[in-house]
């Protein structure tokens, strides 16, 4: 996962994932503009393996995260002068600066499938567990990136056992996905959540805390 080579930065003129727009409007008599992007809604799933009392999360190279670090360390690479062409970038940063821990997640891009169906497919593709649709629990939904995309993410909870493991997971290689499945022991999970040396999404932190309030007390009783 951690070998990323031949980087070059180019313009994004047409994308099936992101479409930039500018909205002009008047609010309480004041004229404003706001730039935003349309992107897909998504689902994410907190997965807890009861056989081994651990959370199952994924680790991925995220180009957007990598390029944030690139801009911080080598801002000259983002200078606008030749933005209409592809500009080779120096391999100045290790790929690991762009790797994040995340909940298993996927974009909602199949109108014929329910959110639950999309979630179950993502669990199988990314983490390798067969989860029956009816056992999936909806936790809540929230808006992510409210300044930029405002897209909705719906969060589910899935309990799995070792017996439900059907494959290694790892994402769909034909779509270029390269995902590492990582287990976080329940006993270490709150330290992990707040340890900034493990870059992670808000979804991981929020859902681990949700588990502490809503699931962990019942586990202790059993």
Q: What residue ranges bind ligand UPG (CB under 6 A)?
A: 17, 39-40, 42, 102, 105-107, 144, 151, 153, 175-177
Tokens of 111: 């109108």
Closest approach, Cβ 151 to ligand UPG, in A, equals 6
Three-class secondary structure of residue 95 per DSSP? helix
Q: Answer with the entry of Mg ion, ligand UPG, none that 176 interacts with (C-beta below 5 to 8 A by kind).
A: ligand UPG
- Is the separation of the CB atoms in 49 and 61 below 8 Å? no
Write the DSSP string, 39-58.
---EEEEEEEETTTTEEEEE
Q: Which is nearer to Mg ion, 49 or 60 (CB)?
A: 60
Measure the CA–CA gap between 118 and 42, rounded to whole angstroms: 9
Three-class secondary structure of residue 101 per DSSP? strand
Measure the CA–CA gap between 75 and 65, rounded to whole angstroms: 14
Q: Which residues is 43 bridged to in the sheet?
A: 106, 154
Q: Which residue among 45, 46, 99, 105 contacts Mg ion (CB under 5 A)?
A: 105
Q: Answer with the entry of Mg ion, ligand UPG, none that 40 interacts with (C-beta below 5 to 8 A by kind).
A: ligand UPG
Q: Which is nearer to Mg ion, 106 or 203 (CB)?
A: 106
Q: Answer with the entry of ligand UPG, Mg ion, none that 39 interacts with (C-beta below 5 to 8 A by kind).
A: ligand UPG
Closest approach, Cβ 196 to Mg ion, in A, equals 23
Does the footprint of Mg ion cover residue 203 (CB under 5 A)?
no
Measure the CA–CA gap between 19 and 83, rounded to whole angstroms: 18
Q: Which is nearer to Mg ion, 46 or 105 (CB)?
A: 105
Point out which residues bind Mg ion (CB under 5 A): 105-106
């Amino acid at each position: 996962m951690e070998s990323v080579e031949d980087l070059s930065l180019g313009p994004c003129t047409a994308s099936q994932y992101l479409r930039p727009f500018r909205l002009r409007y008047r609010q309480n008599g004041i004229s404003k503009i706001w730039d935003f992007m349309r992107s897909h809604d998504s689902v994410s799933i907190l997965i807890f393996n009861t056989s081994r009392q651990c959370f199952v999360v994924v680790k991925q190279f995220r180009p957007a995260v990598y390029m944030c670090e690139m801009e911080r360390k080598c801002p000259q690479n983002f200078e606008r002068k030749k933005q209409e062409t592809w500009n080779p970038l120096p391999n100045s940063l290790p790929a690991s600066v762009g790797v994040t821990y995340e909940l298993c997640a996927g974009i909602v891009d199949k109108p014929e499938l329910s959110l639950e169906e999309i979630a179950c497919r993502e669990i199988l593709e990314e983490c390798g567990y067969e989860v029956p649709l009816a056992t999936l629990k909806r936790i809540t939904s929230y808006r992510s990136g409210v300044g930029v995309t405002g897209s909705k993410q719906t969060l589910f909870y899935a309990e799995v056992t070792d017996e439900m493991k059907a494959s290694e997971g790892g994402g769909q290689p034909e779509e270029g996905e390269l995902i590492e499945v990582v287990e976080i022991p329940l006993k270490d999970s709150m330290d992990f959540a707040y340890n900034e040396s493990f870059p992670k999404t808000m979804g991981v932190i929020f859902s681990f805390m949700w588990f502490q309030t809503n699931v962990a007390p019942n586990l202790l009783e059993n």
